[in-house]
Structure 1
Amino acid sequence: MSLESVKAHFEQWNRQDDIMEFETSSATVQEAADTIGVIPARIAKTLSFRGEGDQAILVVAAGDAKIDNKKFRHLFNFKARMLSPDEVLEQTGHEIGGVCPFGLANDLKVYVDISLKRFDTVFPACGSTNSAIELTCDELYEYSSATTWVDVCKGWEEEKPEPVLSSEKGL
């Protein structure tokens, strides 16, 4: 049912036929990357958190990014607490492994993390454990009706080279 709600969601942009369905699982970042043939970082994973009140919030981030609790708390003014699998299904209408910001069961706030901006295109799930769609970051933002871009992740930044001292250069 969830894949069907995502297909219906994409009809408004005539993109429902762009959803890829696979014979193999794409439920984890690594499985999705292996199935699609891209690096794990290009998988746009959707994380579900307890929001204020009884509404969840969703953060879409790069596959290699992890939530930075300090940044999250500073931005949202509450602690990052992920939903249980039952709560995820109830709030989003999607089961773990297929959670995406499209075709949601409830009107949830969606935030897109800047960890995705380093890629021309990314691959979010489409409501099932064996589906995805290739989107630009602008399309992901638009199609998910995102509230704003956020910076709440860590672990994805490009490694900055250590400065080289002149004595190490043989000078």
Structure 2
Amino acid sequence: MDGHQIWMQECAKINFEAAPKRYKEGTRTSEDAARQLQCDVSNIAKSIVFEGQDVAIIVITSGSNRVDRKKKLKKILGYKPGQASPEYVLESTGYAVGGVPPFGHLKETIKIIDEDLFKYDLIWGAGGTADTVFPITPEDLKEICKAEVRNVKQ
């Protein structure tokens, strides 16, 4: 079973009716996804994984932003989270780098959403693989993730 099938099962568990799109050309990066969707890269909700003290930290940020781990995340969390290796990402979320969805992780995670995503009516997140994306409103994303909305960009 691939990451997308796993993610769809996780969506069913929370009664989220995903409307994913799959692109054989791939959606591994925010730029790839925006090109496939013909939208601005800012409409892409990329999930960045950091090593937390007890669990993984998932920062869901606008595709055009970089996360300020050293100052802003440190202030939010009370410590500076570590950079996550591809192995850590897979182990802590159940998904490979490039396909990490904003929710539906196989282990507990802490989620923080970039406030900039709320500038848009519709955003696109990864659907469990590096070739799938799905649409969602920022409000629905916040509710499903039970996440804090914060300023995390550099």
TM over 0.5: yes
> CA, structure 1 residues 14+48, in 2 after alignment: closer, same or farther (shift >3 Å)?
closer
Aligned-partner Cα distance in 2 for 1:44–1:82: 19
Instruction: Report the 3-state secondary structure (helix = DSSP H, G, I; strand = E; otherwise coil) of the residue aligned with 2:49.
Output: strand
Report how far residue 104 of structure 1 moved. 0.9
Q: Which runs of 4+ in 1 moved over 4 A?
A: none
- Code of the residue aligned with 1:19 in structure 2: it is P
Pairs aligned (count): 151
Q: Could you say which residue in structure 1 is the equivalent of 2:124?
A: 123
Matched, 1:134 2:135: yes
Aligned-partner Cα distance in 1 for 2:16–2:119: 26
Q: Summarize deviations over 1:127-157 as a string: whole Å, max 9, x none.
A: 10100111100111123x2331121113xxx
Structure 1 gaps, min length 5? 155-171
Q: Summarize deviations over 1:45-92 as a string: whole Å, max 9, x none.
A: 001011113x11101000011112311111111114220001000000
Structure 2 gaps, min length 5? none
Aligned-partner Cα distance in 2 for 1:14–1:89: 23
Matched, 1:46 2:47: yes
What is the percentage of aligned positions where both structures have the same residue?
Answer: 25
Are the equivalent residues in 2 in contact too, given 1:102–1:126 (CA < 8 A)? no
Aligned-partner Cα distance in 1 for 2:67–2:7: 25
Are the equivalent residues in 2 in contact too, given 1:5–1:104 (CA < 8 A)? no
Structure 1 length-normalised TM: 0.83
Instruction: Report the 3-state secondary structure (helix = DSSP H, G, I; strand = E; otherwise coil) of the residue aligned with 1:86.
Output: helix
Are the equivalent residues in 1 in contact too, given 2:53–2:81 (CA < 8 A)? no
Are the equivalent residues in 2 in contact too, given 1:112–1:146 (CA < 8 A)? no
Backbone CA RMSD of aligned residues = 1.3
Matched, 1:71 2:72: yes
- Code of the residue aligned with 1:146 in structure 2: it is K
Instruction: Report the 3-state secondary structure (helix = DSSP H, G, I; strand = E; otherwise coil) of the residue aligned with 2:79.
Output: coil
Structure 2 length-normalised TM: 0.91
Aligned-partner Cα distance in 1 for 2:27–2:146: 23
> CA, structure 1 residues 56+14, in 2 after alignment: closer, same or farther (shift >3 Å)?
closer
After superposition, residues 10-159 of structure 1 pair within 5 angstroms as 10-11=11-12, 12-16=14-18, 18-53=19-54, 55-68=55-68, 69-143=70-144, 145-154=145-154
State the structure with more CA Rg. 1
Aligned-partner Cα distance in 2 for 1:150–1:52: 20
Aligned-partner Cα distance in 2 for 1:100–1:151: 20
